[in-house]
Amino acid sequence: MAVAADRLDATFIALADPTRRAIVARLATGDATVNELAGPFTMTLPGISKHLKVLERCGLITRTRRAQFRPCHLEPAALDAAADWIEENRRIWRERFDKLDDHLRDLQQPPPATRKDTAHE
């Protein structure tokens, strides 16, 4: 359950922003230049570029060096890492609650000698 800390954190932070999610959604349909990405947004090119840098830093997108257009490309593997984290997290809660269920049952049916579970100062 090792969470690859830094990059994954950066991925979540990157995806916490609706504009950046929209950019990712757009890139899922194919590579695009900054200009093409800026189209649907009421945002300046520098504003879009700033978002792209965040996405690039966490590995969600890459930009080719080709010409001055530098099309942006979505890296699905980075997204997979985030999806894995979510599935893992869900599994943890499910299993945690399975155990809590058992624990609550134990607490409410205290066996004769072992009531340590309910004790707390």
Using CB under 8 A, which of 47, 50, 104, 110 touches another protein? 104
Phi-psi region of 59 (alpha: psi -120 to 50; beta: other; left: phi over 0): left
CA distance 71 to 35: 9
Residues 16-35 that bind another protein (CB under 8 A): 16, 18, 21-22, 25, 28-29
Binding piece for another protein, criterion CB under 8 A, among 31-39, 41-49, 65-73, 100-108 = 100-108
Q: Evaluate the CA torsion angle 75, 77, 79, 81 in order and state its sign.
A: negative
x/- letters, 60..99, toward another protein (CB under 8 A): --------------x-x--xx-xx-xxx-xxxxxxxxxxx
